[in-house]
Chain A
Amino acid sequence: MQNENKQLRLALVGNPNVGKTTLFNTLTGFNQRVGNFPGITIERKEGQFSQMTLVDLPGIYSLDTFSPEERVTKEYLESSQADVILNIVDATNLERNLYLTLQLQQFGKPVIVLLNMMDLAQAKGLSIDIEKLEQRLQMTVIPIRAKDIITKKQLHQCLHTNNYLPFEQVYTWTNTQQAYADIEAKFLAGIIHKETEPVLTLSEQIDRLILSKWLSLPILFGLVWLMFKITFDWVGGPLADGLSGFFADVIVPFVETTFLTHTTTWFQSFIVDGIFGGIEPVLAALPVVLILFVCLSLFEDTGYMSRIALILDRIMRRLGLSGKAIVPLMLGFGCTVPAVMATKALESQRQQKLATLLLPFMSCNARLPVYVLFAAVFFPGNEGLVVALLYILGIIVAIVLGLLFNQTFFRSDVEPFLLEVPDYRVPTLKNITKQTWEKGKGFVKRATTFIIAANVIIWTLSHIGFQPTFGYVEDLDMSILASVANVFAPIFEPLGFGNWQSVVAIVTGFLAKESVTSTLGVLFSNSEAELSTTLPTFFSTASASAFLVFTLLYTPCMAVIATVKKEYGIKMMWIIVIYPVIVAWIVAWIVYQISQFIM
C-alpha cells in the first residue's frame, strides 16, 4: 500500500506589509522583492519548502475584496487548492489582522496563525498572551520572526508532525461593526497587555520632521539630490570611470596581445569592436546602475516611500493620480517592467492606465549607460548635472502629459484615497545586498548573453557589403546595414543625428535599452580610435543633447511592451509603442534647436 503522501500546499495569507514575502524568501530561499510599503506583491508566487509547496499571495485586508491583486488572493483561496492556510499577522495590530483571520475560516481549512513582529510589539510596550489567544481562536498560534531562519525549523516541525489544530468552525456576522465588536470583546479582551504607555515612538518623531510643513519638501529634494550625488559624482561615477579605464587599458590590450597577434584583421575587429566595443560601455555603467538601485531600495525599505506618497499626493492629484502612483513611478527609475506591474496596485483602472502612460518617461537604468557615455565625452566636468537634467526633463514631460491627459481622455472626479502608513524600519543589509546582487547578476547576464548576441549580428551586418563583390568590407559605410539604415536616417536629420549608426542604435534599443550603447560601441569604435574620440566626429554637442533626449523619452524595450500587453491588452500596447516615439522626436527637436542657439 502506498502512503498517501500528497504534497502539502500551503497558502501564505495576511494583511499587506506584514512580512509575507519576507517569510516566503526565508522558507524557500527565493529572492522575491520585498519592501516597506503595502502592496509590493501583486501576483501569486510558488516555491518549495521541505517537500511542501508554498504559495505567496498578495496582501489582503479582508475577503470583501476591492483591488485586483486582492482578488488574486481571494480567487486562489476559493479554488481550495491549499491544504493549510498560513495566516501571518502583525502583532502590533492584532485587532485589524484578526478580522481577516476569522474570515479565513470560511474555506474550511486549518489556519495557522503566525504572529510576526513580536519585537515591535514589545517595543511598543505590548505583551500578548499567546496560549489564551490560541484557545479562543481555536487555531494554532506561533510567534515567528519572518526573516529569521529559526522560523523555518519551527514551521517544518509543526507541519510535518501535523502538530496543529484542525479546522473548527465558520464565523459569520451581520456586518463589519459586529465583527470588530466581537474581536474586541470575545477574542482579544484580556489578551493584550499594555505594559508601558508609549510616549512618542521613534517613527512619530521622525514623521514630525519629515512631514512638517516647511521641511518636508526640502528634505525630499535634499535626499533625491544626495541620491544623485552618490550615484553619479561621489561613488558610482568614479567607479564607472575606473572600470571603463580598466577595460580600455588592461583587458582589451591583454586580449589583443595574447590571443589576437597572429589572426586576421577581420577577426581582430570582430573581437575588439564587435564583442568588447559593444559590452564595454554597458558594463562600465554597472556601478552606477547598482548604486542607484541601492538608493531606491533604501527609500522603499525604510518606509520613506510611503511618506513621499503623502507629501506629493496633492501634486499627483492634479495629474489625476494619487500619491500612491509615486511607487510605480519611482520604480520606473530602476526598471519599467516591475513598475508597470506595480501600477496594478492603484485604485482604479483609470489611474492604472494613466500611470502606465507616464512610465516611459521615468528614465530606466538600462538607458543610463548612454548618458554616462555621452556625458563623459561631451560634457566633461558636468556629468552629474547633465544626467540629473535628463531625469528632470523626463519628469517634466510626464507632468505636462499627465496634466494634458487628465484634462482630456482621462477626465474624472477625484477618487478616494486610502493608504496605510507603515512604521519606519531599519533596512537590513542582507536584504539590500541580496537584492542588489540579483540585480547586478541580471544586468551582467543580459550584457554577456543577449547584448553580445545582438552585437555579433550588428557587427556582421556592418561588415558585409556588396561592393566590390559580396563579402567582408573594411569601410562600414559600404555595408548592408549602412545602406538599409540610411533609408531611415532622414527622419532624424532635423534632430541633428541623421547618421545611419544612430538609426541602428535606436532600432536595437527597442529590443533592450542597453543595446543603444553597445551598438554605438560596435559601430563607432575601430581598431585605431576609441569611442570617445570617434563620437565627436559624428555628433556636435547640440546633436548629442538631442540624441540623449530622444533616448530618454522614446518607446521602452520589448520586455516592457510585452508586460503592458499582458496587463492592459493590445490597444494599450500599441499606444505605448507609438506615442513615446512621437513625444521623443518633438522634445528632441526642441532641445536641438535650443542647444544650437546657445552653443
Chain B
Amino acid sequence: MTVAKMKIGESAIVKGFTQENSFVQRLRTMGITENVVIQLKRKAPFSDPLIISCRGSELAIRIQDAKNIVIEV
C-alpha cells in the first residue's frame, strides 16, 4: 500500500519508496525515512494535496507523489 491510499487520521509505517529520485531524497532529509511513523492528517479541498504528519511537522504532498511512498498500516 502507498500513502495515496491512506484514510484521514490513519497512521502507518514507511517501508520504502518505489523509486529513488530527487523528490524521494528530499523527503528523506525531511525525516520521511524507512520505519518512521506517518499519519495522514488531512486532505486539501478536492482531496489533493495530502497533508501528512511526520516527526512533529506537517508536510503537503500531491497524491501523484504520495504513490511513491510504500507503507504498512
- A→B interface (CB under 8 Å): 61-62, 64, 66, 92-96, 99, 175-177, 180-181, 204, 207-208, 211-213, 216-217, 309-311, 313-314, 323, 414, 416-421
Contact = CB atoms under 8 A, between A and B. Distances in A.
The dominant DSSP class at the B interface is mixed
B35 A177 contact: yes
B45 A418 contact: no
A419 B59 contact: yes
B60 A419 contact: yes
B73 to A, nearest CB: 20
A180 B34 CA distance: 10
Given A207-B42, A211-B42, A420 B49 contact: no
B41 to A, nearest CB: 8
27 contacts: A64-B29, A66-B22, A95-B55, A96-B30, A96-B31, A96-B57, A180-B55, A211-B43, A211-B45, A211-B51, A216-B44, A217-B45, A310-B60, A311-B44, A313-B49, A323-B60, A414-B64, A416-B23, A416-B64, A417-B61, A417-B62, A418-B59, A418-B60, A419-B49, A420-B57, A420-B60, A421-B58
Contacts of B49: 310, 313, 323, 417, 419
Interface string B21-61: 01101111111011110000111111011010001111111
Given A313-B48, A314-B46, A418-B23, A177 B33 contact: yes
A216 B47 CA distance: 12
Nearest to B27: A418
Nearest to A63: B29
B59 A313 contact: no
B8 to A, nearest CB: 11
The dominant DSSP class at the A interface is helix
B65 interface: yes
Interface of B: 22-23, 25-31, 33-36, 41-46, 48-49, 51, 55-62, 64-65
B33 A180 contact: yes
Contacts of B45: 211-213, 216-217, 311
Contact of B29 (A99, A181, A204, A213): A99
Nearest to A92: B56
B56 A93 contact: yes
Nearest to B50: A310
A418 B61 contact: yes
A140 to B, nearest CB: 23
Choose among A66, A180, A414 the residue with the greatest number of B CB atoms under 10 Å from its CB: A180
A64 B25 contact: yes
A167 B42 CA distance: 42
Nearest to A210: B45
A416 B48 CA distance: 13
Contacts of B62: 313, 414, 416-417
Contacts of A175: 28
Choose among B42, B45, B59, B62 the residue with the greatest number of A CB atoms under 10 Å from its CB: B45
A313 B44 contact: yes
Contact of B55 (A62, A96, A416): A96
Contact of A66 (B26, B46, B61): B26
B51 A310 contact: yes
